[in-house]
Structure 1
Amino acid sequence: MSGFTVGLAILGGLILAALVAYNAWTTRRNTPKQPDFVVTKTSEAGETVRAEPTFDPVVTMGPIPVPERKPGLDALIDVLAPIVIDSVVTGEAAQAALPPTRRAGSKPFAIEGRNETTGEWETPRAGQRYNAFQAGVQLANRNGALNEIEYSEFVVKAQAFADAVNGAPEFPEMLDEVARARELDQFASAHDAQLGFTLRARAAAWSPGYLQQHAAKLGFVAGALPGRMVLPAASNGGSPILGLSFSTQAALADDLSQSAIREVTLSLDVPQVPRSEQPFMRMRDAAIALAASMEGLITDDNGTVLANDALDFIGADLEDLYDTLDARDLSAGSPQARRLFS
C-alpha cells in the first residue's frame, strides 16, 4: 500500500472520529439536564439504593387543623346594608335563607350575623343565635368597579334574605356607592403590581426534575397545577410568596427525562404578600441563585437581560408602592388588600 493511500486512510479515520465526537457533543448539548440521583437508603445486603429526588411530603397523622377564619366584611372595601330583625334567628334558619351563590355579578357577596353570645360579626353557623345581620358586596376587584347592575343584584339578594328572616334592610344610596367603587378601582388599578422574571437556559435545556431539584433547594414546593411550584408563606392560609411556572406540556410529558424546558417564569403578586416577608428580595435572590446553578439568564418578558442595577431599581420602586398602600390602610398582604387585588 502506497504512502498516499495510507495518508488518505488516516485522514478519513480522523474525519470520522471528529464526526462521531461532534454528534456526541450535539446530542449531549440538546439533551435536557437531568436531576442528580440522591442516596436514600441502604438495602439489607449493604448495597446502596439510588432513588430519584422527590418533593412529596411524608404523610403523618396529626391533629385536624382548625379552619382559617375568613376575613369579614369591611366598610373600606364593601357596601354594607344593615338588616334589623324583630327576634333572634338561629344559625340553621339563617343558613337556609342564604342565597345559592355568593356573588353579585363579578363581585363577592356575603351575609354576616351578629352572634348573640360573643357580639362578633360572622358567617352564620349552625348552633348559634343571631340578633342582627348585615349584607355586603365588594366595591371593586381586578374585574373592575361595582356597577349599577351588580348593585341591583346585591339589593335583590339581600332583600330576599331579609324577607326570609323577617328583617328590614337599609340600603345606602346606589349612586354614592357606585362612585365610591369607581374611586377605589382607580386607586387599585394605579397601584397594582404583578412582577415576573424569566429565566432562560444559556445552552442545554432543563428537564422538569432538574428544575424541581434546584428550586426545592430554595424552598419551593409543588403547586396545585402541573408546571407550577410555589414558595409557601410562613403562616398557614397565607398567599404563596413566589410562584415558579413552566410549560404544562413539559410537566405532563410521558417521558419527563426527555421533556425540555428552555425558560421558566418567577412571579410575585405584590399586593397579596406582606411586606414583612421581603418578597422582592427573596424573588431576586431566587432568580440569581437559579440562574447560577442552572446556567441561565435573568430577563424581562421581552428577553432583555436584567442586570443587578435594574433589579435594585425595581426594589426601590416597590418600597414607594408599599408606603402608598400602607397610607390607604390597604397594606400588602392584609385581608383587605388580598380581597381588593383578586
Structure 2
Amino acid sequence: MSTLQVSLAIIGGLVLAGVVAYNAWITRRNVPRTLRERGGEGVAAPAGPVAAPVFADTSPGGEGDGRIDPVLGVMPGDAPITAPPAEPATPQAVPVTLNHVVAAPEKRPGLDALIDVITPLALESEVSGDALLAAFPGTRRVGSKPFAVEGLSELNGEWETPRLGQRYRALQAGVQLANRAGALNDIEFSEFVVKAQAFADAVGAAPDFPDMRAEVARARELDTFASGHDAQLGFTLRARRAAWSPGYVTQHAARLGFVAGALPGRMVLPGSTAGQAPILSLAFDPQAAMAEDPEQSALRELALSLEVTHVPRSEQPFVRMREAATALAEAMDGVVTDDAGRALTTEALDRIGADLEGLYDALDSRDLSAGSAQARRLFS
C-alpha cells in the first residue's frame, strides 16, 4: 500500500472510532438517572416498583383554570448499645405510595355574605333534615356558581348543610357571587331564584330574595378585585445533562417533604394544618409515571407550582417554593427557569417575593386573606 492509502485508512479508522464514541456518549447521556445510581449517596433503590407521585387537589375548584397569569412570573435517655462490628449496610429508601395521601379537606365552608348572595327561607314550623335533603335539587350549581342550602342547627346554633336525623327552624339559600369563571350574571341570578323557590315550595318555606341589580353589581365589583389579585406561580426545573426517571425525582422530592397525592405524576407539600390546601405541588409527565417500567422513562423537566391565594401567608409558601426549587436543582443537576425557559436569577426571585407581599396586603384588606375559606372559594 502506498503512503496515501495508509494515511487514508488511518484517518478513516479514527473517524469511525469518533462516531462510535460519540454515539455511546449520546446514548449514556439520554439514559434517565435512577435510584440505583445513588447507592454511593446512602440511598438504595426500593425493593418494589416506586408508586407514581400524584397530586391531591384539596382546593374547591381544582387545578387548571388558568384565568389569570401571575404578575410576578437511638431515643433520648437510652443507654448506648455496644454491638460487634458489622458489615456496612445501605439504608433502604421508603417508597412513596398512596398511603401518604394528604389529609382529607376540612368541612365545606358555609355561606358568607362577603362572597355569596344569601336568601332567608322562613319556616312556619320546624322541618327535619331528612325532608330537606329529599327536596334538594339535582345539581348544587347555578350556571358556573355553587348553590347551597343551610339550616340553623339546634345543637350548636350554627348554620350547616342539613343532616339526617336533625331538625331545623330556620333555613337560608345562597349562590356564590364570583369565581374564576367570572361574576354572577342576570341569567344565573334568575336561575338561582327559580331553584331556591322550587326548594322553598317543597319544604313549605317563604323566600325573601334580595334585589337582583344590586347583587349582580356586587358580583361584578368582587370579580374585578379577584381578577386583579389572582396569582398562580410556576417554576420549571430542567435537566442540564442526564434525564431523570420518575423514581429518581420522587426520592429527591420526598426528602424535602413532598408526598404522593391522587393523580399520576403529582406530588404535594402538605400544609401544617389538617384540611389546608397543599403549600406546593410538583408535577411531571403522567405517562412516564404510569409506564410499565417507570425507571426506563426519561424526564427532562418537572413543574413546581404555588396557588398563592390558597395558601396562608404564615406558611411562607414562596420562600419554601424557592428553597425547594434550589435544592432539587442542586441535587439533580438541573436549572430553575420560567415557563419560557429563561433561567430565574436571584434578583428576579427577590422581585417576585416583594410583589407577593403587596398582594397579601391587598387580600388582607378585603378580609380575603390567602388561605382563608373565602379566598379558596373565590379563587376557584
TM-score greater than 0.5 by the shorter chain: yes
**Is 1:56 the counterpart of 2:112 in the alignment?**
no
- How much has 1:299 moved relative to structure 2? 0.9
Partner Cα distance (1:291, 1:117) in 2: 53
More strand by share: 1
Matching residue of 1:79? 117
Partner Cα distance (1:235, 1:321) in 2: 23
Matching residue of 2:153? 115
**Is 1:313 the counterpart of 2:351 in the alignment?**
yes
Matching residue of 2:308? 270
CA contact (8 A) 1:227 1:247 kept: yes
CA deviation profile, 1:227-272 (whole Å, cap 9, x unmatched): 1111111222111111111112222223322211111111001000
SS in 1 for 2:325: helix
Letter of the structure 1 residue corresponding to residue 216 of structure 2? V
Partner Cα distance (1:303, 1:58) in 2: 35
CA contact (8 A) 2:135 2:203 kept: yes
> TM-score of the superposition, structure 1-length normalised?
0.89
- How much has 1:220 moved relative to structure 2? 1.1
Which of 218, 229, 236 in structure 2 is aligned with 1:180?
A: 218
Letter of the structure 2 residue corresponding to residue 22 of structure 1? Y
- How much has 1:20 moved relative to structure 2? 4.5
- How much has 1:6 moved relative to structure 2? 9.5
Matching residue of 1:62? none
Residues 133-152 of structure 1 aligned to structure 2 (within 5 Å):
133-152=171-190
Which of 281, 286, 294 in structure 2 is aligned with 1:256?
A: 294
Aligned residues: 334
Greater relative contact order (Cα 8 A, min sep 6): structure 1 or 2? 2
Matching residue of 1:34? 34
Letter of the structure 1 residue corresponding to residue 95 of structure 2? T
SS in 2 for 1:149: helix
Q: For residues 50 and 6 of structure 1, do their structure 2 counterparts lie closer, same or farther at Cα, with a shift above 3 Å needed?
A: farther
Partner Cα distance (1:222, 1:116) in 2: 40
Matching residue of 1:331? 369
Q: For residues 102 and 249 of structure 1, do their structure 2 counterparts lie closer, same or farther at Cα, with a shift above 3 Å needed?
A: same
**Is 1:128 the counterpart of 2:169 in the alignment?**
no
SS in 1 for 2:362: helix
Partner Cα distance (2:375, 2:264) in 1: 28
Partner Cα distance (1:26, 1:208) in 2: 21
Q: Higher mean Cα deviation, 9-18 or 141-150?
A: 9-18
Q: For residues 280 and 55 of structure 1, do their structure 2 counterparts lie closer, same or farther at Cα, with a shift above 3 Å needed?
A: same
SS in 1 for 2:321: helix
Which of 94, 106, 114 in structure 2 is aligned with 1:68?
A: 106
SS in 2 for 1:171: coil
Q: Higher mean Cα deviation, 87-96 or 242-251?
A: 242-251
- How much has 1:222 moved relative to structure 2? 1.9
Partner Cα distance (1:53, 1:25) in 2: 32
- How much has 1:22 moved relative to structure 2? 3.3
SS in 1 for 2:322: helix
> TM-score of the superposition, structure 2-length normalised?
0.81
Partner Cα distance (1:270, 1:41) in 2: 35
Partner Cα distance (1:56, 1:168) in 2: 51
SS in 1 for 2:210: coil
Partner Cα distance (1:56, 1:252) in 2: 13
- How much has 1:7 moved relative to structure 2? 9.0
SS in 2 for 1:244: strand
- How much has 1:119 moved relative to structure 2? 1.8
Residues 288-303 of structure 1 aligned to structure 2 (within 5 Å):
288-303=326-341
Residues 213-252 of structure 1 aligned to structure 2 (within 5 Å):
213-252=251-290
Q: For residues 186 and 10 of structure 1, do their structure 2 counterparts lie closer, same or farther at Cα, with a shift above 3 Å needed?
A: same
Partner Cα distance (1:340, 1:104) in 2: 15
Partner Cα distance (2:98, 2:198) in 1: 47
CA contact (8 A) 2:105 2:275 kept: no
CA deviation profile, 1:276-322 (whole Å, cap 9, x unmatched): 11100000001111111111111111111111111011001000100
CA deviation profile, 1:181-227 (whole Å, cap 9, x unmatched): 00000000000000001111111111111111111111111221111
